[in-house]
Amino acid sequence: MTEHPFAQYVRILGKGPNLSRPLTREECREAAGMVLRGEVEPVQLGAFLCLLRVKTETPEEIAGFVEAVRETLDKPADAPAVDLDWPSYAGKSRQLPWFVLSALMLAQGGVKVFMHGTEGHTAGRVYTRETLQALGIAPASSLAEAAGQIKARNFAYLPLEFLSPRLFEIMGLRSLLGVRSPIHTIARSLDPFSAHCVLTSVSHPSYRDVHQQAAQMLGRRHMAVFKGEGGEIERRPEKPCMVFSLHDGEMGQEEWPPILSTPTKWDEAMDLSRLKAVWSGEEEDEYAVATITGTAAVALKSMGRAASIAEAEDMARSLWQARHRERLLAA
């Protein structure tokens, strides 16, 4: 029998503890291209995803996979210059998604924010699309529509099913495989508009330097990655936050101190209507405001709009005080 062309990539990853090795950047780009074009058998795809997952993805593999995906994206020719790429792929289960208000506050303050993500892969979580819908904000259904929304109101959210239908399909295999696939890592790094700065979150601290190195390989100039609450880009205000970053392409690390001194209990109700209440000032919530401004501060410093942690946090608090309480986004 003639060997299937994709078999070589499964073999590289799966020859055992002494003979297997990670894929090179070029190998992963070629393998991912075959996956995206539907040139692999289902059993091969399952084996490939699980082998990558077991050993964890390397920066080279992430960079190669992202390059293959970006070649398939239908980016409009008149796309605006995006300031901040904000992936949202985890969902929230213990605290409300206050990070959404961070992004909307930055957009209201003049930062062009592109958010992309997905939902439903893990039961019992609140995801970004339903959060935005609760706030009266409709998602985009294409990169072209997202570009138009960014031009009109400095913010757009595009679900993965429209950004990359094939990646969305593969991510849906989690219910069959029983574990998350590397697609959760890949999707966070897509940055389809080549934003000035990319924010990234991780659930496991060991992935911070992997994302940082992959971003450098991909030519990103500015990025920040940290362990966010629930895996989303959301700072935990009662905890120190170690941020791995790129500034002008140079890698760095910086620990942000806690904002609050007391721990916060889990939110058992997860009532999305509270986001509007806090935004409008109808409800006071110290944890929520610290989370919103603390997360925005990391974004502001990562974009180079603040020179220090203190300046970034002051800027974020000023944006919160100056927000338009009657509407979340400009018409």
Three-class DSSP labels, 118-162: CCCCCCCCECHHHHHHHCCCCCCCCHHHHHHHHHHHCEEEEEHHH
Q: Give kind and range of the element (H or E) at residue 215.
A: helix 208-217
Give strand pairing partners of 37.
none
Q: Tell me the one-letter amino acid at 152.
A: A
- Provide the 10 A C-beta neighbour count for residue 19: 9
Which candidate, 221, 194, 224, places its Cα nearest to that of 212? 224
Both tokens of 177, joined, read 């495989």
From start to end of the chain, where are the E strands? Answer: 84-88, 113-117, 155-159, 197-202, 222-227, 241-247, 250-256
Distance CA 26, CA 38 (A): 19
* pLDDT tens, N- to C-terminus, the chain (331 residues): 799 999 999 999 999 888 999 999 999 999 999 999 999 999 999 999 999 999 999 999 999 999 999 999 999 999 999 999 999 999 999 999 999 999 999 999 999 999 999 987 777 789 999 999 999 999 999 999 999 999 999 999 999 999 999 999 999 888 888 877 889 899 999 999 999 999 999 988 889 999 999 999 999 999 999 999 999 999 999 999 999 999 999 999 999 999 999 888 999 899 999 999 999 999 999 999 999 999 999 999 999 999 999 999 999 999 999 999 988 886 4
Residue 252, CA atoms < 13 Å, CB-side half-sphere: 14
- Report how far apart, in Å, the C-alpha atoms of 267 and of each of 123, 240, 262, 284, 287 are: 16, 21, 15, 15, 11
Identify the burial level of 311 via C-beta atoms within 10 angstroms of its C-beta, where 0-12 means exposed, 13-18 middle and 19 or more buried: middle
What predicted TM-score, i.e. pTM, was given to this entire model? 0.95
Residue at token pair 């942690």? 309
Q: Provide φ and ψ at 127, rounded to 5°.
A: -110, 170
Secondary structure letter of residue 313 according to DSSP: H
